[in-house]
Structure 1
Amino acid sequence: MKKLSVSDLAKLYGISRQAIYAHINKGNLSKGSDGLIDFSEALRAFGEPKKQEKNVKLSQSIDSNILTEVDTLKRQVDMLEKQLNQAISRESQSFEREIFYQAQIEAMQRLLEAPKPSSNEDTQKSNTNEINTSSSEVDIRKEEGSENIGSIQIDNSKAESVGFWRKIFRPKN
């Protein structure tokens, strides 16, 4: 029969060399004069060896499946990190645009601020100074401390007899 060394026997049965030496010291196994152990002795002491090659192949296939799955998950994590960074970038750009547009809106509101209402005395004085203000003569006034240039009022009765520039710029009374 076939003769095996202690190391080969340990690999075949999947046990340590120290365990084999312990069996030899107890007398369960015997070594030949050449230092090798007969396979029939190993069969008597340990029984049939387990077929580890299938286990190795099975574990290798499981390991390769796990490695493939881990690799796929790593790629997904990388892709998600990239998408997250892009989303953060878009969000910061959107925030900057919002601040810019908010500043633009505030500037426009300041420029287009509605004219401040004048007091009743001012309106009564202006009504007495104007002659029949209706809708065809242009009256431009500038109020002090205001950015607004004035109001437009048109008088239809004088529209035909007054020249073009007189319609726009009326002399002050």
Structure 2
Amino acid sequence: MKTLTVLELSKLYNINRQTIYNNIKKGILSKNSENKIDLAEAIRVFGEPVKKQDVKEPVKIDSPNSAEVLLLRQQIDMLKNQLDDAKDRESFYQNQIETMQRLLEAPKANMTTFSDQKIEPETATDPQLEPEQKYDRLTTPEQTENKRIPVPEQVEPEQPKRGWLSRFFLPNG
């Protein structure tokens, strides 16, 4: 059977030489005393080698300009989508703001039913009427004069704070 070197095997299977050495080290692939690998052993580990077909037609290679143009067009499409999403969000939030403003301007309904309504005179429009003050000692505090607490006039000033060492080296103050 045919034997191959590591370099020949890597070219035949189009794999890295380090991969072959790792397989040998792990015991997956074996080599003979001449440090060559049997083709049957390589087929067992890597399978049948893929034969390269000769290319009869010239391969069209895209110019770097067209690749850049394609990339830029994709970015433009992505930005257009983001702009459309932003416009949708803006209109949604604008509608929310208008709804909230309408709710704030709506009259507040303090009464639950029509029969609960009482006609109360407004003190702001009629200065003669003053609201009645209910007085009960449980919930309404009694109004008393503010009494000040007398402070003695002669107060000794505090001694300035001293550090730990100054207590030993400075005279008492």
Question: Scaled by the length of structure 2, what TM-score is found?
Answer: 0.34
The structure that has the greater radius of gyration is: 1
Question: Scaled by the length of structure 1, what TM-score is found?
Answer: 0.34
